[in-house]
Structure 1
């Protein structure tokens, strides 16, 4: 019994020193110039039907290519904590579990091109905070939802080409210059590469920012193919983006009733802004720090027009500052800023000197400022 235990311990030690390689894969240990070593694993057996589960734990690069693997199950790679490159390309993948990439905290590159994925679990990207390359080229993806946008901020190479995308959420382009308002530097070293060609794009206002980007030069966002074309509507079918002129698509413009307002302490204040654009812009108010403001009303008296008012009741010194009115539609964004100042005195209480044993009543001194009257109709 003791001899069997000794043999087991020796085998365990050998497995740690020289990890076993999956039977349908090839494992290679690479020596680096600084003396360190990294391991890569390639699995390309056409008879492989499942993601291997016994890949060496020190693997840095894993390639699963040209196999019969059809799905990526939950926590398929959770033990590969050193994995930086994961290529699962040209297989038969149709299903990716939302927890399929659990614990890949240092993964830098994920390539899933050449599969049959129709729905990608975008929320799974939160498990890969170091991810910079996401390649979904040549799949069957039909939709990128708004919920995907927060997970794409750190991606610098996004390839969605050769899918079945007809549109994109208009807010997607807002995470990159020039649409996010960040200054553009022609010699910026950090570029974002987007692959969006070979999709059946429906050219309407929803993708107007993408069409606008295709007509720009010198931006930090680089399109792999500038000569993308419209598949619809009928009047634009076959037109390249650079020649497409969209109907009923106008960026918003916004104007405030005043840029600076000084109001007495305790008064009521109404701020107003008006916006035009098509589709009709939405309006929202925010403080200088970006936090939303309550007590607002808005109305659209007709297509392409909207106004909004914000009320400040019994204004105090804490209400002083800048308020931003933001207009937004598919074509873009605009905002106007109103600066509010507060004038007046703070009420104070004075305590009289005691001149005798008799106590005199306390006198209160205050500045009374009548409040302004709210109009019955918007300005």
Structure 2
């Protein structure tokens, strides 16, 4: 069989290790390929389904999946029920659409905060501390599309008004406007390079020996960087700094799930592997040990798994449990691409808040309306 994942140790190493064990148990060998993070987020899923039996996906793709008929759903089984019961936050739910389960969570993530213990004593506690560190040139924030949009989503949630993923208006104008104003304020302080950085680029910069960057307050968590020896400087992780009435709630949910191609020649075997690798026993065992960031509660609560990552899971769990689920209708991914470009231009030009939020709402409504007409 052939599988496609994303090109980072967290995305590749645990699947390679799991596949080796699967083969030892008598399962079919699996050859994994990987794509860059940007390519992973935007490459046409139907094209991948023609070439691979197993595909690691983002949950906002599921509405498009239903429309393209390129993946097969998972049938109800005892193993599926175990995976659902052990899901961290809304990770399992995020791949459930139109009454069926299109992928199984193997990686759970949300925007949290990261800091370098060698350079700062504790995680940031409020907005003023965030700004103070940014003014001192010691703060980073990945704003490369789509990450500025993800941060806007998270800021809205923290300010008490997560975007409405089901209604005709995505952003509340008042809360969206305040969140955008804070994003503009932050972008002006972290520098122009932020618009070219994704989370991996920020982590690599933070972990470099001579870096001054001490924290990143809105960034998808990467347990790999919390391990001793992974990079010259270890990065620690914590829940979001509470900025408003919602506390740590409202982070934009991320993570990945494993899906099975409807166009491959090994559907039954691919389903068996996917169900096995998403199980609590594998997620809490060899998957975590091989550098994965599991989507199963068994791993997140495991003392040894936490010890090897300096409590990455325990320290960020509250944020992940309260994370916000992005829209998943057929058309959302196209909206995300266009909205990210719109927001990137707005940040560059320092466009006014009211006009920017109104434009994002208009764009969202057009894609959501088109999805309803299909």
Q: TM-score band (shorter)?
A: under 0.3
Flag the structure with larger Rg.
1
TM-score in terms of structure 2 length: 0.21
Query: Which one has the bigger strand percentage?
Result: 1
TM-score relative to the length of structure 1: 0.21
Return the structure number with greater helix share. Answer: 2
* More relative contact order, 1 or 2 (CA 8 Å, 6+ apart): 2
